[in-house]
Structure 1
Amino acid sequence: MEISSAFTSGFQGFQRASNAVTEATANINQQTAQSSNQRALETPVEPNTGPSIEQSLVTLSNEQVNAEANMKSVKTADEMLGSIIDLRV
């Protein structure tokens, strides 16, 4: 595997995880706001079309692990590049 493709794969994976974390966080905020508004207005709970808070929390946790794993691959590629440069100099 080329080092540049390891960097690219790691950064792309990190970006996907970052986007998923942002989406999960927005879902959690939306669910919390809806729940608070319904309690304040004492209105009946309407069925939600999006993921539940629990699903969003699980997604948030999974994507955190994905982001960390992708950053480890970037770090490893960086260390490999440093070793190769040291060998050639």
Structure 2
Amino acid sequence: MNIQSPFSAGLQGYQRAADSVTDASLNISRANVNTLANESQARPEVNPDQFVDASKKTMTDNLVQLKEAELHAQANVKSIKTADGMLGTLIDIRV
């Protein structure tokens, strides 16, 4: 059985949270661009084909995903800090 160190587990969790934030942010941005594209169809000087289609997720889903990612990141930062404190304590005891 392979057991990860608390540092690597915390860092991997934090990276997953950062990736989730990026994904949700892109979906929100695409939804806003799609809204602008729909509004620009009435204006001939703007080409709506230049805009990217929005994701299938709703804006609410993306905002919930952002909040979840924030909470996951905070939890992983706490685990990293705890592992750091434990390692510091172990080093102090051994020295």
Gap runs ≥5 in structure 1? 43-47
User: In 2, distance between residues paired with 1:57 and 1:70?
Assistant: 20
TM-score (norm 1): 0.84
Which one scores higher on RCO, CA 8 angstroms, separation ≥ 6?
Answer: 1
| Residue 86 of structure 1, CA deviation | 0.6
User: In 1, distance between residues paired with 2:17 and 2:56?
Assistant: 19
Native 8 Å contact 2:24 2:66 kept in 1:
yes
TM-score (norm 2): 0.79
Show structure 1 runs of 4+ deviating over 6 A: none
| Residue 40 of structure 1, CA deviation | 2.4
Q: How many residues align?
A: 82
Q: Percent of aligned positions with the same letter in both sequences?
A: 40
Q: Deviations over 1:34-70 (max 9, x none)?
A: 012202224xxxxx65211110010001101001100
Native 8 Å contact 2:10 2:80 kept in 1:
yes
Q: Which structure shows the bigger proportion of residues in helix conformation?
A: 1
User: In 1, distance between residues paired with 2:8 and 2:66?
Assistant: 23
Matches within 5 A, 1:35-74: 35-42=35-42, 50-74=56-80
- Greater Cα radius of gyration, structure 1 or 2: 2
| Residue 15 of structure 1, CA deviation | 0.6
Gap runs ≥5 in structure 2? 43-53
Per the alignment, residue 91 of structure 2 pairs with 85
